[in-house]
Amino acid sequence: MSNGRMNGNGKRSFKLMIVDDSNLMRRRIERSQQFEELQLVGTAADGVEALELFRRTDPDVVTMDITMPHMDGIECIARLVAMKPAIRILVVSALADKATAVEAMERGANGFLNKPFTDRQLNEAIAELMR
Amino acid sequence: MSLAGTERRRQLFTASIGTALMLVMGLALIWGFRLATHMRANIIALQTASTLQTYPEEISHQLNALRDRLEVRAYSGQALADLQATVKRFDQELRVLSGSVDADSPQLGHALLLWHQYAPVLEPVVSFGGQPYVDSDNAGSSLSREGREHYAEVKRAQLFASENARPLQTQLANLATSLERTSSAGATRLRSLLMGGVFAALVLAVVAAYFQLSRARHERAAREAQEQTRDILKTVREGFFLLDAHYRIGSVWSEALTRMFGRNDFAGLTFEELLEDLVPQSTLATAMKYIKLLWGDRAHENLMKSINPLGQLEITTDNGHGGKETRYLQFDFHRVMGPEGIKHVLCSVGDITSSVLLARELHDSQENANAQLDMMVGLMHVDPLQLVSFLDTAETGLKLVNTILKEPARTDAEFRKKLAGLFREMHTIKGEASALNLKSVAMRVHTLEDMVGDCKKKPELSGNDFLPMVLKLDELLAHLRNVREMAARVTALKDTSAGSAATAAADFAASAHAPLAPAPITAMAPAPAAPAAPPAPAAALTAPAAAAPPARSANQERPARRVEELSPALQSMAERLAQDHAKRFRLTLNGLAEVPAPYTATIKDCLIQMLRNAAVHGIEPPEVRRAQAKKDTGNVQVDFRRTAEGYELLFEDDGAGIAPEALKAAAVRRQLITEEDAELMDTRAAMALIFRPGFSTQEDITMDAGRGVGMDVVARSVYALGGKIGVSTHPGKFTRFKIVLPATDSLSTAVA
């Protein structure tokens, strides 16, 4: 991945941002991911908040909910990608509708994970994202 | 690709060998041609040389002959002519020979040299043209002066010839021998060359044969492979095709596509064109976006598979008989990689209609089972006696409906009368079902009511309009049977679990089987899934047996209890109504235990109807009440008591009351009265409007009010018992209905 940074130990490190309107889901993702090189820089509850957080923290990896108030995930993905083309976005959504997934991918998302998910599924999806 | 490479290399190899051989053969042939030409010249030269070697001797002979002639003074003309001819021929042929034989041939050189010495000697002889003799009579013929000179030249030539004819001849013979040797060597060379040529031709033939053979073998293999591919594509049940970077379908596709899409012009068709008439625009747009993503390499195959929007695509096609057919197709996509990234996308299409339908059927039947379970749970919360009472009433009501439907009718007015009757009956059943929280029944009756309502709107009516209702009615009856059957099971279950075999249960089971033979439970499956009936609110759960007053005569007990046990149902209905209409009120029920048997059904109907009216029209929303300085929670009070003349039921709510003007306006709107009528009406007459058939102030039709059936039904049933009904109201304060019923003894015959 192009935008991994080198930390002190010479290992790659990524800044993670979690975007989901459910507090529970945010914590779930935060706790379930098992990557040392992932550093949580912040969580956002909607698209507007996510953009604001992005400007401050410049994350490399984002997990993104679709259905959120103020600005939905699709719109948010498009804006994030416009600002940072190398950003990696994993859509985490309960929407069974495949059209949304296709739309998100078209806007620049890199992965898709259906809610509910297992820890293993989440970690596999994130690993795929950072490859 | 390595296979094709090997094949190509071998072909190249064969071709180059062939070309080399051809070149060799060509060169040999050209060389042979030159050799042959050279040999031919040689042979001609040889022949000439052979001929020439005889000439010097002949010339010598002829010179001798000429000399002899001259000596004997014989005629020498002929001999000279012969010599001239020979010399001339020799000179010519030697010239020709020297032109054709290599100039460096030493023999020829010598021969020419000799000849060049010889020729000048001969020249004066052959060019002699004079008269050699002079005739004199005394001495006969003698040589003339010319003759003498001529003779001397002949003798000189003869002398020269005797010295040089032989060497010349030898040189010419040597020349002939040399030429012969050259020819022989040339012939040998030509033969070897020809043999080499033949050999090359043979090798070429072998190579060509091998090449031809191997090509034939490969062609056969290719043809077989092609045939196999065709067979596979013809037989396979899935549709297969390749998409190129412009989303166009390739020229090879499986025939199953024809069956799926009803066309066979796939080659060159774009994916968009394939789907555009079969799916909605939005689906098509998503599909195209997805295909575009497939061609990008951003997402790996598994991810693409997981977001495939065409995994179960519903398409609508013509079924060939003018109708439409809905089928389900499953599209799968696989990237075909080439050396420079994605080369094609392989698309496989399966017709999964039957499995989708099967899954749906399974789902439906599960839903159905769940609905039954829900209904069962719902039934467990309903008092069995109430349920039986309802089922009996409903069945009777529906039989009445059936009778109404069967009544012969011809005129429009008669049909309309029928409709009105149907409407009233069904409205009553619906009300009771709602009160008992039997949503599945209520919903069905509601549907039936809708059908009647639609019929009413029709400008002209015929018997055919009633047919769908008959069908719906049958369905409803079947459903009621199911409910009864299930209720029996529930009761049995309750009994065994409670361990107390209440008489009610026995009654229940008996009545469950008596009036109608219950259909076996399995027969319910085809019926549409009943909407899930949520468990009744806690108020309805009060144990009925414990609440029943113990001291009561045997024949009075059951009917009386029915009304008494209606109170939990009414409470639950009140709660539901409050929730549905966003109202808040408390329902207080007094003295319902006093209701005598013959009045129970009527009282029940009236209470349900009035409660509904109170909740919908009477009690105001809390914020309105607050604005009017009333308590947020309204009150609905029911009192039943025995009086000197009989019985009295008071139903009062502290709601908005009824404004006579509003009643009039509604009646005009519903065209029950004209505006002129309305103006003439006094308050009393206006209030009486609410007992008119078809009257309602509600615009929207809901489950609870607005059908225009309500108080008129109440009034009718009260009148039927010989009773009276009255209403008093104070706008903004209250509405009070008063029903007066005669003592039961006085009308025992009327009700029985």
Residue B752 clears pLDDT 70, i.e. is over it: no
Q: B81-90, B291-300, B396-405, B492-501 — which one is most confidently predicted on average?
A: B81-90
Question: According to the model, what pLDDT value does residue B2 have?
Answer: 54
pLDDT band at residue B636 under the 50/70/90 scheme: very high
Domain around A60: 5-130
Separation of alpha carbons B190 and A110, rounded Å:
81
More confident site: A24 or B494: A24
Which of A102, A110, A111 has the CB atom closest to B290's CB atom?
Answer: A102
* Encoded tokens for B413: 């007015």
- Is residue A123 exposed (0-12), middle (13-18) or buried (19+ Cβ within 10 Å)? middle
Question: According to the model, what pLDDT value does residue B576 have?
Answer: 75
Q: Which of B279, B286, B292, B308 to mutate to test the interface with A (most CBs of A within 10 A)?
A: B286
pLDDT in tens, B178-228: 888 888 888 898 888 888 888 888 888 888 888 889 889 989 999 999 999
More confident site: B95 or B566: B95
H/E run at residue B600: helix B600-613
Burial code (b: 16+ CB inside 10 Å, e: under 16) for A52-76 equals ebbeeeebbbbbbbbebeeebbbbb
pLDDT band at residue B545 under the 50/70/90 scheme: very low
More confident site: B704 or B256: B256
Give the chain A residue whose CA is nearest to the CA of B309.
A98
Separation of alpha carbons B102 and B509, rounded Å:
141
Q: Do B311 and A98 touch (CB under 8 A)?
A: yes
Q: Under DSSP, is residue B160 helix (H, G, I), strand (E, B) or coil?
A: helix
Question: According to the model, what pLDDT value does residue A58 have?
Answer: 92
More confident site: B364 or B513: B364
The DSSP annotation for B182-237 comes to HHHHHHHHHHHHHHHHHHHHHHHHHHHHHHHHHHHHHHHHHHHHHHHHHHHHHH-S
pLDDT band at residue B503 under the 50/70/90 scheme: very low
Instruction: Give the ipTM.
Output: 0.85
Which of A99, A111, A128 has the CB atom closest to B309's CB atom?
Answer: A99
Judged by a CB distance cut-off of 8 A, whether residue A127 touches chain B is: no
Contact between B750 and B740 under an 8 Å Cβ cutoff? The reply is no
Judged by a CB distance cut-off of 8 A, whether residue A111 touches chain B is: yes
Q: Do B286 and A102 touch (CB under 8 A)?
A: yes
CATH code of the domain in which A17 resides: 3.40.50.2300
pLDDT in tens, B309-346: 888 888 887 776 777 788 899 999 988 888 888 888 89
More confident site: B539 or B637: B637
The pLDDT of B538-557, averaged and rounded, is 38
Domain B540-752 grouped into CATH 3.30.300.340: no
* Encoded tokens for B151: 């003779």
pLDDT band at residue A43 under the 50/70/90 scheme: very high
Ranges of each domain in chain B: 2-229, 239-351, 371-536, 540-752
Across the A/B interface, how many CB contacts are shorter than 8 Å?
A: 37
- DSSP count for chain B of H helices, then E strands: 25, 12
Judged by a CB distance cut-off of 8 A, whether residue B308 touches chain A is: yes
Separation of alpha carbons B360 and B362, rounded Å:
5
Residue B480 clears pLDDT 60, i.e. is over it: yes
| Chain centroid to CA B297 | 25
Which of A102, A114, A128 has the CB atom closest to B309's CB atom?
Answer: A102
Name the β-bridge partners of A99: none
User: Cβ contacts of residue B578 below 8 Å, gap of 6+?
Assistant: B584, B585, B615
Question: According to the model, what pLDDT value does residue B217 have?
Answer: 92
| Chain centroid to CA A54 | 11
Contact between A81 and A105 under an 8 Å Cβ cutoff? The reply is no
More confident site: B302 or B89: B89
Rounded percentage of chain A residues whose pLDDT exceeds 70: 91
Q: Report chain A's mean pLDDT, rounded to a whole number.
A: 86
Name the β-bridge partners of B394: none
Q: What is the CATH number of domain B239-351?
A: 3.30.450.20
Q: Under DSSP, is residue B155 helix (H, G, I), strand (E, B) or coil?
A: helix
Which of B289, B292, B303 has the CB atom closest to A111's CB atom?
Answer: B303
Residue B104 clears pLDDT 60, i.e. is over it: yes
Give the chain B residue whose CA is nearest to the CA of A124.
B303
The pLDDT of B572-584, averaged and rounded, is 80
Q: Do B289 and A103 touch (CB under 8 A)?
A: yes
Question: According to the model, what pLDDT value does residue B495 have?
Answer: 67
Contact between B466 and B491 under an 8 Å Cβ cutoff? The reply is no
The pLDDT of B279-296, averaged and rounded, is 88
pLDDT band at residue A54 under the 50/70/90 scheme: very high
DSSP letter, residue B644: S
Separation of alpha carbons B649 and B604, rounded Å:
11
Separation of alpha carbons B76 and B512, rounded Å:
170
User: Cβ contacts of residue B595 below 8 Å, gap of 6+?
Assistant: B560, B563, B564, B603, B640, B647
Residue B649 clears pLDDT 80, i.e. is over it: yes
Amino acid at B226: Q
Distance from CA of B531 to the nearest CA of A (A): 25
Residue identified by tokens 């206006």 is B686
Separation of alpha carbons B387 and B382, rounded Å:
7
pLDDT in tens, B133-160: 887 766 667 788 888 888 888 888 888 8
Strands B341-351 and B324-338: antiparallel
Separation of alpha carbons B531 and B231, rounded Å:
52
* Ramachandran area for residue B243 (φ above 0: left; ψ -120 to 50: alpha; else beta): beta
Residue A78 clears pLDDT 90, i.e. is over it: yes
Separation of alpha carbons B157 and B349, rounded Å:
115
Question: According to the model, what pLDDT value does residue B698 have?
Answer: 54
Separation of alpha carbons B204 and B208, rounded Å:
6
Residue B18 clears pLDDT 60, i.e. is over it: yes
Residue B622 clears pLDDT 60, i.e. is over it: yes
pLDDT in tens, B390-448: 887 777 777 777 777 776 677 777 788 778 777 877 887 888 788 777 777 888 888 88
Kindly list the distances between the CA atom of residue B384 and the CA atoms of A104, B175, B263, B373, B396, in Å, as whole numbers in the listed order.
56, 148, 62, 17, 18
Q: Give me the number of domains chain A comprises.
A: 1
Separation of alpha carbons A59 and A31, rounded Å:
18
pLDDT band at residue B553 under the 50/70/90 scheme: very low
Distance from CA of B308 to the nearest CA of A (A): 7
pLDDT band at residue B751 under the 50/70/90 scheme: very low
pTM score above 0.80: no
Q: Identify which of B109, B105, B91, B85 has the alpha carbon closest to the alpha carbon of residue B48.
A: B91
Contact between B151 and B82 under an 8 Å Cβ cutoff? The reply is no
Strands of the sheet with B724-730, listed across from one edge:
B585-590, B634-642, B646-653, B734-742, B724-730
pLDDT band at residue B166 under the 50/70/90 scheme: confident
Question: According to the model, what pLDDT value does residue B525 have?
Answer: 35
More confident site: B704 or B226: B226
pLDDT band at residue B498 under the 50/70/90 scheme: low
Judged by a CB distance cut-off of 8 A, whether residue B312 touches chain A is: no
Q: Do A98 and B298 touch (CB under 8 A)?
A: no
Alpha-helical runs (H) found in B408-466: 412-435, 439-457
Rounded percentage of chain B residues whose pLDDT exceeds 70: 84
Does A116 sit behind a cis peptide bond, omega within 30 degrees of 0 on the bond before it? yes
How many CB atoms within 10 Å of residue B139?
8
Q: Identify which of B703, B694, B595 has the alpha carbon closest to the alpha carbon of residue B641.
A: B595
What are the percentages of helix, strand and coil residues in chain B, rounded to 5?
A: 65, 10, 25
The pLDDT of B649-657, averaged and rounded, is 89
Separation of alpha carbons A38 and A45, rounded Å:
20
Residue identified by tokens 């899409």 is B261
Question: According to the model, what pLDDT value does residue A84 have?
Answer: 92
Q: Report chain B's mean pLDDT, rounded to a whole number.
A: 78
